[in-house]
Amino acid sequence: MPIDPTAAGREGEPRTRSWTSKDALLYAVGVGAGLGEPTQELAFTTENSEDLPQRVLPTFAVLLAQAPAPSFGDFDPAKLVHAEQAFTLHRPVPIEGTVTATARVTGVYDKGKGALVVVESTAVLEDGAPLATSRSAVFIRGEGGFGGERGPSDDWAAPERDPDRTVTYETRPEQALLYRLSGDRNPLHSDPAFAARGGFGKPILHGLCTYGVTGRALLHEAAGGDPARLTGMYGRFTATVVPGQALTVAIWDTGTGEVLFRTRTDDGTVVIDRGRASVTA
């Protein structure tokens, strides 16, 4: 069957996942930490540097909160792209631990040219304390037109002034091969034949890798490098990234504990738009 518009409210099976210090280190390298200057970001890329206890990038929480989504239809997976991603941290991510997460479909929307499906999950630690809540949306091309609601609108707008901070981070040509080792083995990011089925000339970078690189920029430029201060982040994926492209993040401080951001590739294409991040004092 095509997209099932009645899937909203449906829950998947819980998933319990444990992670170690090594998993957190691999994720950090997978989103480019230390690239170009290995002695930078050692708190996130090493566990035994002098006077630098290991810390975990906040965006790693998105992976920990992932759980099997319930069925919401039958479609060609090559037509699915990651459309939006958000997370809220309820406490800093420890360097090791165990969580249980359950995914629930919270919305199925008709966007005309495709369907947008929103899934939310919360990762709960073994003692019952919530670690992080994740909300993601996927867009399935060609699956719209079923007569459903379009979904809520967003009033985000960039301030009419230059960004307060702008930073550029490089990615490696083999960045997707590194990032996939953190768990996302979708061949869209490694297999040229599969990528071609989706209409891409070559494998593209994982949206969550672009998101993680952007999260590093927000961490260092808006939160002083302290992962306990970056407590939430939302972004809408608007274009694909090819591994090896540089990413430039423009950041506006609203003075309210929220910063706005937008990420572009080195040719000026906006790849994450309508960005919001929560930063504590």
Other CB atoms within 10 A of residue 18 CB: 11
Query: How is residue 5 written in tokens?
Result: 């518009």
Q: Compute the radius of gyration of the chain from its Cα atoms.
A: 18
Q: Which of 23, 82, 184, 206 is catalytic?
A: 184
Task: Specify whether the CB–CB gap between 239 and 219 falls below 8 A.
Answer: no
Largest CA distance in the chain: 60
CA angle 269, 279, 68 (to 5 degrees): 70
- Verify whether residue 267 is a known catalytic residue: no
CA distances from 252 to 57, 168, 239, 273 (A): 21, 15, 21, 13
The residue behind tokens 């630098």 is 52
* Cα distance between residue 128 and residue 113, in whole Å: 41
Q: Which of 76, 189, 191, 253 is catalytic?
A: 189
Other CB atoms within 10 A of residue 27 CB: 26
Extract the runs of DSSP E, i.e. beta strands, from the chain: 15-19, 80-89, 97-110, 114-125, 130-141, 165-169, 230-237, 247-253, 258-265, 270-279
* Cα distance between residue 147 and residue 109, in whole Å: 9
- Verify whether residue 220 is a known catalytic residue: no
* Cα distance between residue 67 and residue 75, in whole Å: 20
CA distances from 195 to 45, 71, 73, 203, 269 (A): 30, 23, 22, 5, 20
Q: List residues with catalytic annotation.
A: 184, 189
